A and B are shown apart, each in its own frame.
Chain A
Amino acid sequence: MAASSIAARPGIVLEHRPWWRSRMTIVAAIVGAMVICHLTLSRTLSWPDSLVWHSLTHYLDNIQNWLAAESAKTDPNFAYRLIHWISSGLDALVRWLYHLLSSWLTWPGTTLLGGLLAWRFGGRRAAVIMVGSFASFAALGLWDDSMQTLALMLVAVALSLLVGVPLGIVAGRSDRFNGLITPVLDAMQIVPAFAYLMPVVIFFSVGPAAAVITTMVYSVPPAVRITALGIRSVPANTVEAALALGSTKRQLLWKVQLPLARRLLLLSVNQTILFALSMVVIAGLINTEGGLGAPVTNGLNSDPALAILAGVAIVVMAIALDRVTEAIAERTDTAKRHLDVAGRKRARLATGAVFLSIAVAAILGHLLSAGSAYTRWTAQDWLRTQVQNALDYVQKPTTFLFKDITNPVGNFLVAHMLQPLDTFLVETPWFITLAGLAAIAFVLSGLRPATTTILMFALIGAIGEWQDAMDTFSQVLVATAIAVAIGIVLGVLAAEIPWVSRAIRPVNDVLQTLPQLVYVIPFVYIFPISYVPGLIASVLYAFPVVVRLVERGVRDVAPETVEAAGAFGATRLQTLVKVKIPLARDAIMLGINQGIIMVLAVVVIAGLVGSGALGYAVAAGLQRGQFGIGVVASIAILAMGIALDRVTRGNRSAAKGGRS
């Protein structure tokens, strides 16, 4: 850290270099040199076969077979028995919760319970949202599946927090641990679930437990990261004051850091929920209990309209849980809790009344056998017809939408952006590509990121994924560029104009939780070119996070600075371009960084709708039982992610000065 901040110092001095020495010019020159090499050395020189470790996939397959054989033994060793207990426990827990929601409380009881809980902790608006979401599960005709998913998500989220929050606390208090765990978290978010689905099944069998574990791999990282952020965001002077009064570390944690980090802790709950819900479909591939994932997977083939309805139910659940937890977070704002004795008494009475009315509703539900009554009121058939009509419309090649907009745009994107870049990266001799990428990394971020880049791409070559990786790399670059461009524009607009911010938030939530396969299928019809739907999936998944970070960054620019700019007579646009955006640079860089991670997280889905390359290989690895191939392709995705992350992050840590 210290070394990099010192290394960066001369860079600050050189701010006034002539244009021909600016970073962008140097990068452009490197790219130019690469293009010239590409054109002159016109033969494809892919990574040499002699430098590939061919037997790796074979070894990996053997490991998996060995694990499977071990688990099949009648007298398993202790580790397997322990895992077996865990998985039976989890199975039982999820099933119990499902029965509680679905057959014990019945839907009137569950709806009332959800509504009243939201009302008690989040206020009236939260209650309306909660009841509305439950009503829509019934209206969509997906009540049972929704309750299955809800039970699964509650357990997965609770466990993610149980694991993630303590880790986050440690990471918030120790820089060393934070440094150790960050790459692990990155890997958990980048490595496609398809790669570890089979090992999870071997260890935890199929069923709710396996689904919970798979979900947790993706939803623990935000819990850790945001908790750590929360601990770190407690004002240093408060911590110091507590220490000066002789607090022990534990007292500091329980009496100062945790209470003050409360809002961010609740945000971590919120984000954990969103991340967990985005795994519903994949977790459904190894769950025996149904849930909303099953209608999506099966529906895509036999009933796309139903798949879309199930996707809508997932989104409704995500938005409801998001808004309700947020309302709770607002409510528990530390300085706003004034409950006198009378108020407490009232609150307790209210709690009692709540449980009583839920009990009454549940009993009523049973008397009316309402467990199945929702089917009488569902609007599923009507909705399915509507959705199917819409799908039929987009599938018709004669429409204006297709003929005059999407088809030409798609063709242009492929012919003039993706295809040339792909050809360039795949066909340029490997050593030129490697040297060029390293040089760009060096210019942008310094020596260490450049070294990382070389190592990571060499690793990709060594495991035999060079060609596929270059193919995927070209698409990742284009997707990131588009996502960042859209994200920055929308983020800045949202920071400046309140209604844009309000309008964009639900869109962001939808895009982050709606299973990508659901929304990408229509694009397969309207952009019938292999790369484009995958590109769209990546962009749609990645730009919301860029919007969020950019919006926050621009908003957080100190009002005094903005005021000062105004006092000098800067127009709104000048203030934005000359003050706010430069000052939000860190947030924007973080946005680019996170955008890349998100794009990489969609590589597999993109591979399933035509992007091919690494994503396709990962999917094939799971679905054809070729574990090794899937893992090797995942390693390549991870390596690419690490390189891109370090290059985009290098700037950030260098820009941060030490504490004075």
Chain B
Amino acid sequence: MRGKWLYGAVGVVAALAAVAGLIVASTATARPTAAKASCGTVTLNEQAWTGSTANTYVAKYVLEKYLGCKVKVTDIAEIPVYQAMAQGKVSAVLEDWQHVAQYKQYATKQKTVTLEGSNGLTGHIGWFIPKYLLQKYPSFATWKGIKGHEKVFASPEAPQGMFLGGDPSYEQKDTQLIQALGLKLKHVTVGAETAEVARYSQLIAQRKPVIFYWWTPEYRNAELNLTEVKLPARMKGCEDDGTTNAPIAKYRCAYSSYPLEKVFSTKFVKSGSPAVAVLKRWAWPSNADQNLVSSWIAGQHMDPQKAAEKYVKSHMAVVNKWLGK
């Protein structure tokens, strides 16, 4: 009986092999002839926010259309992607929000990634409120005007007034800043960016008061009519990272504004691909450009590929600059 099974198994394997052979043969002939081999495959990492999707797909479109590269998009989390770049598995990240510790570890010490300068955007973190609130309480334009009116922001979990904190992956110091400013707000962590958006957009839809950690560039800011609360000016030795346990007074200042970095894998830079030069030149002309593409993607649910195509076709001058023409 065992013998018969063996025959059966051999038969099956043979049949499989034949099928596999056929298929391989057919795919081999059907495969489209690769375009200019010099570019090869470029792997871009798309991060979990819409702006990053806009960056990635616009760059992808340009590289594929004009250089014949094969572009692969990955969706690796922000910190693990450094290890991926160090090993050459990801070629580039086109928007990095100042991961200083990683710059030190991977760019300075290991030299496995390189910082390639700004992507044309200026990132800025701050405290935001909806405009209708500012109209009702004009003093809320600055933090001083909020002092004494914290109760306006009361919520079930913070009857004394709620400050809505940001996504755990972003740099923040609001607990310390609130303390340093002597405000009676309670810092409430609402969690991931999506959850924070859900929470404040819900409150804004009810036209209730809300103050929260937020940033520019971000396409929603215009849509929801947000405005920033003025915080104390930057000073020397100003701290932005709440986890460093610096003296509380060091935090008594607004967040800094900084360029958003392009980070490349050193292996990619040394690969000699024409894509390196193009990506080095690649940058948005202004925050508004990215917001435009983002709003197509997230606001109108346009396919990112099509949104990229639409942008490229309507901004040929910008694209030509990237291509070095």
Contact surface of A with B, Cβ cutoff 8 Å: 65, 68-69, 71-72, 103-105, 197-198, 201-202, 205-207, 284-288, 290, 293-294, 297-298, 300-305, 348, 351-352, 355-356, 358-359, 362-363, 366, 369, 384, 388, 395-397, 410-411, 414-415, 419, 517, 521, 524-525, 528-531, 533-534, 607-612, 616-617, 619-620, 622-626, 629
Question: What 8 A-B pairs come out closest when comparing CB atoms?
Answer: A623-B169, A620-B168, A524-B198, A302-B298, A612-B189, A206-B84, A294-B75, A285-B77
Nearest Cβ distance between residue B40 and chain A, in whole angstroms? 16
Among B105, B106, B202, the one with the most A-chain Cβ atoms within 10 Å of its Cβ is B202
What is the CA–CA distance of A355 and B84 in the complex, to the nearest angstrom? 40
Chain A residues, Cβ within 8 Å of B27: 103-104, 366
Complex contact B202–A395 (CB within 8 A): yes
Chain B residues, Cβ within 8 Å of A356: 15
Stretch at the interface among B42-50, B127-135, B251-259, B314-322: B42-50
What is the CA–CA distance of A384 and B24 in the complex, to the nearest angstrom? 36
Complex contact B195–A205 (CB within 8 A): no
Complex contact B110–A68 (CB within 8 A): yes
Q: List residues 47-88 of chain B with CB under 8 A from any CB of chain A.
A: 48-50, 53, 72, 74-84, 86-87
Nearest Cβ distance between residue B210 and chain A, in whole angstroms? 10
Query: Does B222 reach chain A (CB closer than 8 Å)?
Result: no
What is the CA–CA distance of A529 and B189 in the complex, to the nearest angstrom? 11
Complex contact B194–A521 (CB within 8 A): yes
- Contact partner of B191 among A68, A362, A609, CB < 8 A? A609
Nearest Cβ distance between residue B123 and chain A, in whole angstroms? 15
Closest residue of chain A to B73 (Cβ to Cβ) is A290
Nearest Cβ distance between residue B42 and chain A, in whole angstroms? 13
Among A611, A620, A625, the one with the most B-chain Cβ atoms within 10 Å of its Cβ is A625
What is the CA–CA distance of A134 and B270 in the complex, to the nearest angstrom? 43
Chain A residues, Cβ within 8 Å of B99: 624-625
Scan B79-107; emit 1 where CB is below 8 A from any A CB, else 0: 11111101101100000000101100110
Chain A residues, Cβ within 8 Å of B15: 352, 355-356, 359
9 more contacts with CB within 8 A, not counting A198-B83, A362-B19, are A71-B86, A198-B80, A288-B74, A288-B89, A290-B75, A298-B48, A397-B206, A529-B157, A629-B243
Chain A residues, Cβ within 8 Å of B156: 410-411, 414-415, 419, 529
Complex contact A68–B53 (CB within 8 A): no
Can you name 13 A-B pairs with beta carbons within 8 Å? A288-B74, A288-B84, A290-B75, A301-B194, A348-B4, A366-B23, A395-B205, A521-B198, A524-B198, A524-B199, A534-B191, A609-B192, A610-B188
Given A303-B298, A629-B243: A528 touches B77 (CB 8 Å cut-off): no
Complex contact B16–A355 (CB within 8 A): yes
Given A197-B77, A198-B80, A355-B15: A69 touches B109 (CB 8 Å cut-off): yes
Q: List residues 211-247 of chain B with CB under 8 A from any CB of chain A.
A: 243
Complex contact A284–B75 (CB within 8 A): yes
Chain A residues, Cβ within 8 Å of B20: 104
- Contact partner of B83 among A104, A205, A290, A623, CB < 8 A? A205
Closest residue of chain B to A303 (Cβ to Cβ) is B301
Chain A residues, Cβ within 8 Å of B18: 359
What is the CA–CA distance of A384 and B302 in the complex, to the nearest angstrom? 12
Chain B residues, Cβ within 8 Å of A616: 168, 189, 191
Q: Which of under 10, 10 to 19, 20 to 34, or 35 or more describes the interface residues of B?
A: 35 or more
Nearest Cβ distance between residue B98 and chain A, in whole angstroms? 11
Nearest Cβ distance between residue B31 and chain A, in whole angstroms? 10
Complex contact B80–A197 (CB within 8 A): yes
Given A359-B19, A395-B205, A414-B157: A622 touches B199 (CB 8 Å cut-off): no
What is the CA–CA distance of A623 and B167 in the complex, to the nearest angstrom? 9
Complex contact A608–B191 (CB within 8 A): yes
Given A72-B112, A303-B301: A205 touches B169 (CB 8 Å cut-off): no
Nearest Cβ distance between residue A409 and chain B, in whole angstroms? 11
- Contact partner of A608 among B79, B168, B206, B298, CB < 8 A? B168
Q: List residues 169-216 of chain B with CB under 8 A from any CB of chain A.
A: 169-171, 188-195, 197-199, 201-203, 205-206
- Contact partner of B77 among A103, A286, A411, CB < 8 A? A286
- Contact partner of A352 among B11, B87, B197, B294, CB < 8 A? B11
Complex contact A300–B168 (CB within 8 A): no
Nearest Cβ distance between residue A468 and chain B, in whole angstroms? 11
What is the CA–CA distance of A563 and B198 in the complex, to the nearest angstrom? 55
Given A290-B75, A397-B206: A607 touches B199 (CB 8 Å cut-off): no
Complex contact B168–A624 (CB within 8 A): yes
Complex contact A302–B201 (CB within 8 A): no
Complex contact A623–B105 (CB within 8 A): no
Given A68-B83, A285-B76, A622-B77: A530 touches B190 (CB 8 Å cut-off): yes
What is the CA–CA distance of A521 and B202 in the complex, to the nearest angstrom? 12
Chain B residues, Cβ within 8 Å of A351: 8, 12
What is the CA–CA distance of A573 and B8 in the complex, to the nearest angstrom? 58
Chain B residues, Cβ within 8 Å of A287: 74-76
- Contact partner of A198 among B26, B50, B79, B87, CB < 8 A? B79
Chain B residues, Cβ within 8 Å of A201: 80, 83-84
What is the CA–CA distance of A625 and B46 in the complex, to the nearest angstrom? 18
Given A68-B110, A206-B90: A624 touches B79 (CB 8 Å cut-off): yes
Nearest Cβ distance between residue B84 and chain A, in whole angstroms? 4
What is the CA–CA distance of A531 and B157 in the complex, to the nearest angstrom? 8
- Contact partner of A625 among B16, B101, B110, CB < 8 A? B101
Complex contact A301–B50 (CB within 8 A): yes
Complex contact B23–A104 (CB within 8 A): yes
Query: Does B142 reach chain A (CB closer than 8 Å)?
Result: no
- Contact partner of A607 among B19, B87, B102, B191, CB < 8 A? B191
Chain B residues, Cβ within 8 Å of A301: 48-50, 193-194, 197, 298
Complex contact B202–A297 (CB within 8 A): no
Closest residue of chain B to A381 (Cβ to Cβ) is B301
Complex contact B195–A288 (CB within 8 A): no
Complex contact A626–B77 (CB within 8 A): no
Scan B280-321; emit 1 where CB is below 8 A from any A CB, else 0: 000000000000001001100100000000000000000000
Query: Does B22 reach chain A (CB closer than 8 Å)?
Result: yes
Among B22, B30, B89, B195, the one with the most A-chain Cβ atoms within 10 Å of its Cβ is B195
Complex contact A384–B205 (CB within 8 A): no
Complex contact A397–B205 (CB within 8 A): yes
Given A288-B89, A414-B156: A298 touches B22 (CB 8 Å cut-off): no
Given A356-B15, A525-B202, A529-B157: A609 touches B195 (CB 8 Å cut-off): yes
- Contact partner of A68 among B76, B86, B155, CB < 8 A? B86
Closest residue of chain B to A526 (Cβ to Cβ) is B202
Complex contact A524–B19 (CB within 8 A): no
Closest residue of chain A to B198 (Cβ to Cβ) is A524
Q: List residues 122-150 of chain B with CB under 8 A from any CB of chain A.
A: none
- Contact partner of A528 among B46, B90, B199, CB < 8 A? B199
Among A304, A610, A616, the one with the most B-chain Cβ atoms within 10 Å of its Cβ is A610
What is the CA–CA distance of A384 and B301 in the complex, to the nearest angstrom? 10
What is the CA–CA distance of A103 and B194 in the complex, to the nearest angstrom? 35
Nearest Cβ distance between residue B16 and chain A, in whole angstroms? 7
Chain B residues, Cβ within 8 Å of A304: 194
Chain A residues, Cβ within 8 Å of B243: 624, 626, 629
Complex contact B169–A529 (CB within 8 A): no
Complex contact B105–A65 (CB within 8 A): yes
- Contact partner of A533 among B83, B87, B195, CB < 8 A? B195
Closest residue of chain B to A618 (Cβ to Cβ) is B168
What is the CA–CA distance of A425 and B48 in the complex, to the nearest angstrom? 35
Nearest Cβ distance between residue B208 and chain A, in whole angstroms? 9
What is the CA–CA distance of A419 and B43 in the complex, to the nearest angstrom? 47
